[in-house]
Amino acid sequence: MNRVGSMADRQRRVKKIHQLLQEAIFFSVQELSERLGVSSMTIRRDLDHLAELGLIQRLHGGAMWREPEQSLGQREHLHITEKTAIAEEALARIRPGETIALDSGTTTAKLAECIVASDIRPLTVITHALNVATILMADPRIHVHVAGGDLRPGTASLTGPRCRRFFQEVHVERAFMTAAGVTRDEGLTNSNFSEAEIKSAMREAADEVHVLVDGSKWGQRSMVSFAHLTQVHEIISDLEIDLDWTMILHQAGVRFSHARTASHLLGEGLQ
């Protein structure tokens, strides 16, 4: 077979592998080899190629679908009004003298901005998000601890074993966390294993866990769960949840707080 034909075959095979992983989440090298009628070595090379492109996640003996993740810069411009309202509502939970944790995310970054603009002092904040730490350093009266680890440039967050151990060794009064999706069965989910691992460790370090999610996250399921609904204390959102979700949260023992945006408040004023 000539080189052009070989390249065309590889492109078709790689596209098929990507499609199969998207549908079934995980395949072993052996399963893909049998399905596509090529050697295990060929499949491994194809999987390595897809992993380099950031389209899948390589695991021992196979590969897993990797959900496309928006960069921090892209997410900063989405749902700004809603995130601001959620952050302002979350700020009311914080008391002077507390030690709190903020995870990575644009909504927690908004909360950091609200903290700097407030008079809640003294305050100690633990985070693994460089963008959050950068915002908080504007006020030297806020004591900031940044967890060490491996930098993920797209999210400006630190992850990995060192970061996980850091949160396993600390205690905070409350943690403020974000999620890519919220469902009844999977709970709170994230698109990245390493991020979810840190979120789980942060959750376990806190007396109270407050989840900050805008309306676009409800009913959405991302790749990996980092908390069941029963493992968090409160969800703060701009969404006016329906009766079904009210019952689900009540049964799980989760408080719900509606963060009213300016448009909500204006609508109430006109009634």
- Answer whether 254's CB lies under 8 Å from 235's CB: yes
Number of domains within the chain: 2
* DSSP secondary structure code for residue 146 in this structure: E
DSSP states along 45-103: HHHHHHHHTTSEEEETTEEEE------HHHHTTSSHHHHHHHHHHHHTT--TT-EEEE-
**Among residues 26, 41, 65, which one ends one of the domains?**
65
Residue with tokens 């079934």: 24
pLDDT < 50 positions in the chain? 1-2, 4, 70-78, 263, 265-267, 269-271
Model pTM score: 0.73
Residue 45: CATH number of its domain: 1.10.10.10
16 and 108, same structural domain?
no
Return d(Cα 184, Cα 177) in angstroms, integer.
18
Residue 145: CATH number of its domain: 3.40.50.1360
53 CB-side CA count, 13 A: 13
Q: By three-state DSSP, how is residue 10 classified?
A: helix
128 and 59, same structural domain?
no
163 and 131, same structural domain?
yes
- Left, alpha or beta for 47 (phi > 0: left; psi -120 to 50: alpha)? alpha
Residue 52: phi and psi, rounded to 5, are: -65, -30
**Among residues 38, 65, 92, which one ends one of the domains?**
65
Please name the helix (run of DSSP H) or strand (run of DSSP E) that holds residue 175, with its range, or none. strand 172-178
261 and 164, same structural domain?
yes
Q: What is the pLDDT of residue 71?
A: 43
97 and 79, same structural domain?
yes
Q: What is the pLDDT of residue 140?
A: 92
191 and 115, same structural domain?
yes
210 and 145, same structural domain?
yes
**Among residues 21, 46, 65, which one ends one of the domains?**
65
- Edge-to-edge strands, sheet with 172-178: 142-146, 123-127, 99-102, 172-178, 206-212, 234-237, 255-258
- Answer whether 212's CB lies under 8 Å from 180's CB: no
- Answer whether 44's CB lies under 8 Å from 80's CB: no
Q: Distance between terminal CA atoms of the chain?
A: 74
Which pair of structure tokens corresponds to residue 240?
Answer: 């006016």
191 and 112, same structural domain?
yes
261 and 208, same structural domain?
yes
Residue with tokens 């074993």: 161
Residue with tokens 């701009």: 238
98 and 58, same structural domain?
no
Q: What is the pLDDT of residue 270?
A: 40
Return d(Cα 50, Cα 166) in angstroms, integer.
32
98 and 193, same structural domain?
yes
pLDDT digits (tens, 9 = 90+) for 130-164: 999 999 999 999 999 999 999 887 788 999 999 99
- Answer whether 177's CB lies under 8 Å from 103's CB: yes
Residues spanned by the domain of 41: 3-65
Q: By three-state DSSP, how is residue 39 classified?
A: coil
127 and 25, same structural domain?
no
Beta strand 234-237 with 206-212 is parallel
- How buried is residue 108: exposed, middle or buried, by Cβ count under 10 Å (0-12/13-18/19+)? buried
